[in-house]
Amino acid sequence: MEYTTVSIPRELAERVEDTLEDTSFTGVSDLVKFLLRSLTASYEERGRLTEAEMMEVAERLRDLGYLE
Amino acid sequence: MGLLDRVRSRKRVAVIGIDGVPYGLVERGTEEGWMENLLAMRSSDRMRAALPVVSSVCWPCATTGLNPGGTGVYGFQERTDDGDGLHVPLSTDVHGERLWDAAGREGRSSLVLNVPVTFPPGETRGTLVSGFLSPDVDSACTSSATAERLKKLDYRVDADVSLHGERDRFMKNIHETLDARLRAFKNLIGDGGWHLFFGVVMETDRLNHFYWRDYAEEGEYLEDFLDVYRKVDSFIGEVESLLPEDTELVVMSDHGFTSVEREVDVNAWLESEGFLENRSREEDNSLRGVSGSAYSLTPGRVYVDLKSRRPGGSVDGEDYLDVRSDLAEFIEGLEDPETGESVIDSVHTREELYEGPRVESGPDLVAHPVDGYDLKASFGEGPLTSEGPRTGMHTLDDASLLSTAELDGGAEVWDVFPTVMELLGLRPGDVYGTSLVRQV
């Protein structure tokens, strides 16, 4: 995986470091990655169903009686 | 308290979902010895599901703490917000923050497996494999490494319901799917590194739909049926012994089950009374061509066909309440044409049931049937009532909630979110449900 560097003021990094104790974040970078992924998740089109897949899902739902 | 300034707790919670398992079955299983690991639970009680009673409604409520008026998911098929379209809600259609995302925000990792309405799988802190509606294992995983691992274990997204006509073969398929699922769950749970485990077994629902009569009336497949539950019980026992010491276990279902006597086509009834004039639609996934003052979507959802909602609508806004009240009266009075028995237990308006920012997209009325009558809604020429291939149907009042923690009884499905959050040592936030953790 390739990386790019983001800069934040050292003072901010230190304040954040203090709050990470006893969480499962391994450091400031880990927290920042998590927050940015969460923010961008809603903007990404991830895994949609194709027409064919949609028809298969509909068949399954019909067999289960959830759809007519 | 600040964002990350919480009680510095290492609390963990494992939630095992067993889709569609009624509390009555759990009681019988513990009494008769085929679900004896559940006897070890400190709390054990029935839980009330959401209306309409389907997995795609209940699991989002359980995992967000919201009422369907908050999640915006009212069934396996929804009206699109404008136009004549119908679509199947996916994970991106579930409003409200999911349990694993709320926990993730607080720095807790999750292992989330096979929870309904999590396809497409989102990025979460930890591992998430989406469930039913995923086309295949690869698309259910955000990591190809996880997908490969699951495929090596012969993991499948779901049982092959198209086999239901071949009873032997289908039962075998249910068992194979269950075996692979439990194997994969144990494997991934064993990795550790999570604070929250949330895994759902769907095979119980598939089994109950098609083999319920074998259980209720001691039919040919009774032992195969009980074997599914024996395996689930074994799994629960094994997971309990695998869990790190400070982990609370929660076992829950999203709704109950009972025998089906007749399937009732609400659209056929609406047509017979003149509420629905043309029942044939021009194509699947659309209401185009349908006309009248109302139509229904499975199960028991009734929509007033307002002009303002779609091009084909015919009811003026000012007539909404009158039409709705006429509909409610008609539906409440539905009787089985053969026996004269009442088909409907109750009819509820939208305002009675739903609360939240997504109430407007909900059904105007929801009919809850008497046990034995399963409500359907076809857009073809089906009869008023019929017998389908399914022998089991969902029920509202007897979902199950058990735990190693001390929980109050009288739960409703949306109480699961705040309860698990509290067990994790986190604040539940502003949700519709309330925590069941017993106050000492």
Model confidence over B399-411: pLDDT tens digits?
999 999 999 999 9
Q: Which of A56-60, B145-149, B243-247, B381-385 has the highest mean pLDDT?
A: B145-149
Tell me if residue B344 falls in helix, strand or coil: strand
Q: How many CA atoms lie within 13 A of B329 on its CB side?
A: 7
CB B19 within 8 A of CB B178: no
B260-289 pLDDT, tens digit per residue, is 999 999 999 999 999 999 999 888 888 999
The answer to whether residue B4 scores a pLDDT higher than 50 is no
pLDDT cut 70: percent of chain B above it = 98
In chain B, residues with a C-beta closer than 8 Å to the C-beta of A50 are: 135
Tell me the chain A residues in contact with residue B104 when contact means C-beta distances shorter than 8 Å: 34, 38
- Is the pLDDT at B415 greater than 70? The verdict is yes
Cα B201 to Cα B16, B163, B324: the distances in Å are 8, 19, 38
Angle at B404 between CA B398 and CA B408, to 5 degrees: 50
**Contact list, A67 vs chain B (CB under 8 Å):** 76-77, 298
Between CA B438 and CA B440 the distance in angstroms is 6
A24, A42, A60: residue with CB nearest B109 = A24
- The whole-number pLDDT of residue B198 equals 98
Q: Which residue of A has its CA nearest to B263?
A: A65
Q: Is B83 exposed, middle or buried (0-12, 13-18, 19+ CB in 10 A)?
A: middle
CA distance A41 to chain B (A): 7
Which pair of structure tokens corresponds to residue B87? 């679509």
pLDDT of residue A48: 65
Express each pLDDT in B107-162 by its tens digit.
899 999 999 999 999 889 999 999 988 999 999 999 899 999 999 999 999 999 99
B136 backbone dihedrals φ, ψ, rounded to 5°? -160, 175
Asked whether the beta carbons of residue B107 and residue A25 sit closer than 8 angstroms, the reply is: yes
DSSP character at residue B432: S
Count CB atoms within 10 A of the CB of residue B90: 20
Beta bridge partners of B46: B400
Number of cross-chain residue pairs from A and B with Cβ atoms under 8 Å apart: 93
Structure tokens of B36? 């004896």
pLDDT of residue A47: 54
How far is residue B254's CA from residue B303's CA, in Å, rounded to a whole number?
25
Mean pLDDT of B407-426: 96
pLDDT in tens, B327-349: 999 999 999 999 999 999 999 99
Q: Say if A23 is an interface residue toward chain B (CB within 8 Å).
A: yes
Report the interhelical angle of B222-242 vs B167-189 (nearest 10°).
0
Q: What is the ipTM of this complex?
A: 0.81
Question: Rounded to an integer, what distance in angstroms lies between the CA atom of residue A24 and that of residue B271?
Answer: 58
Contact state of A61 with B76 under an 8 Å Cβ cutoff: yes
Please give the DSSP secondary-structure letter assigned to residue A47: -
B88 and A57: CB-CB below 8 Å?
Answer: yes
Question: How far apart, in whole angstroms, are the C-alpha atoms of residue B283 and residue B289?
Answer: 9
Residue B7: pLDDT band by 50, 70, 90 thresholds?
very low
**pLDDT surpassing 70 at residue B6:** no
Per-residue DSSP letter, B406: -
Mutate to test the interface with A, among B9, B106, B118, B125 (most CBs of A within 10 A): B125
Residues 6+ apart with CB under 8 A from B378: A68, B265, B267, B268, B279
**Domains of chain B by range and CATH?**
12-258+392-423 (3.40.720.10), 262-386 (3.30.1360)
pLDDT at B5: 40
The DSSP H or E segment spanning A34 is helix A28-41
| pLDDT-wise least confident of A45-49, A56-60, B71-75, B301-305 | A45-49
pLDDT score, position A39: 62
DSSP class of residue A63 equals H
d(CA B227, CA B246): 31
Tell me the C-alpha distance between B114 and A33, whole Å: 25
The per-residue pLDDT for B284 is 81
Q: How many CB atoms lie within 10 A of CB A68?
A: 19
Chain A residues with CB-CB distance to B262 below 8 A: none
Query: Among B267, B378, B286, B358, which residue's Cα sits nearest to residue B83?
Result: B286
pLDDT beyond 60 at B1: no
Q: Could you read off the pLDDT of B51-77 as tens digits, one per residue?
A: 999 999 999 999 999 999 999 999 999
CA distance to partner chain B, nearest, from residue A45 (Å): 9
Residue A52: what pLDDT? 84
Peptide bond into B299 cis (omega under 30): yes
B417 pLDDT above the threshold of 80:
yes
pLDDT at A24 over 60: yes
Token couple for B274: 């003149």
Lowest mean pLDDT among B75-89, B329-343, B346-360: B75-89
Q: How many CB atoms lie within 10 A of CB B429?
A: 12
B388 to chain A, minimum CA–CA distance in Å? Answer: 9
Round to whole Å and give the CA distance between B246 and B260: 42
Structure tokens, B9: 């707790």
Q: How far apart are the first and last CA of chain A?
A: 46
pLDDT higher than 60, residue B50: yes
- Strand pairing category for B385-386 and B262-265: antiparallel
The confidence score (pLDDT) of residue A33 equals 82
Beta-bridge mates of residue B250: B15, B403
One-letter amino acid for residue B419 of the chain: T
pLDDT range class, residue A43, cuts 50, 70, 90: very low
| Residue B414 identity | W
How far is the C-alpha of B434 from the C-alpha of B352, rounded, in Å? Answer: 19
Neighbours of B223 (CB within 10 A): 11
Q: Where are the alpha helices (DSSP H) in B115-221?
A: 137-140, 144-152, 167-189, 203-216
d(CA B162, CA B148): 25
Which pLDDT value is given to residue A26?
82
With CB atoms and an 8 Å threshold, state whether A24 touches B195.
yes
* Mean predicted lDDT score pLDDT of chain B: 94
Which residue type occupies B371? D
In the prediction, which pLDDT does A4 show?
Answer: 87
**Is the pLDDT assigned to residue B440 strictly greater than 90?**
no
Measured distance CA(B250)–CA(B60) in Å, rounded: 17
Report the residue of chain B nearest A39, measured CA to CA.
Answer: B123
Interface of A with B in 25-64 (CB under 8 A): 25, 34, 37-38, 41-42, 46-50, 53-54, 56-61, 63-64
Burial of B293 (0-12, 13-18, 19+ CB in 10 A): buried
Contacts of the segment B212-219: beta carbons below 8 A, 24+ positions apart: B212/B257, B212/B258, B212/B259, B212/B260, B212/B391, B212/B392, B213/B259, B213/B391, B213/B392, B214/B391, B215/B25, B216/B259
Residue B3 pLDDT exceeds 70? no
For Cα atoms B394, B340, B393, give the angle at the middle one, nearest 5 degrees.
10
- Tell me, what's the pLDDT at A30? 85
- Find the range with the poorest average confidence among B52-56, B315-319, B341-345, B377-381: B377-381
SS3 of residue B208 by DSSP: helix
Question: Which residues of chain A lie closer than 8 angstroms to B285, CB-CB?
Answer: 54, 58
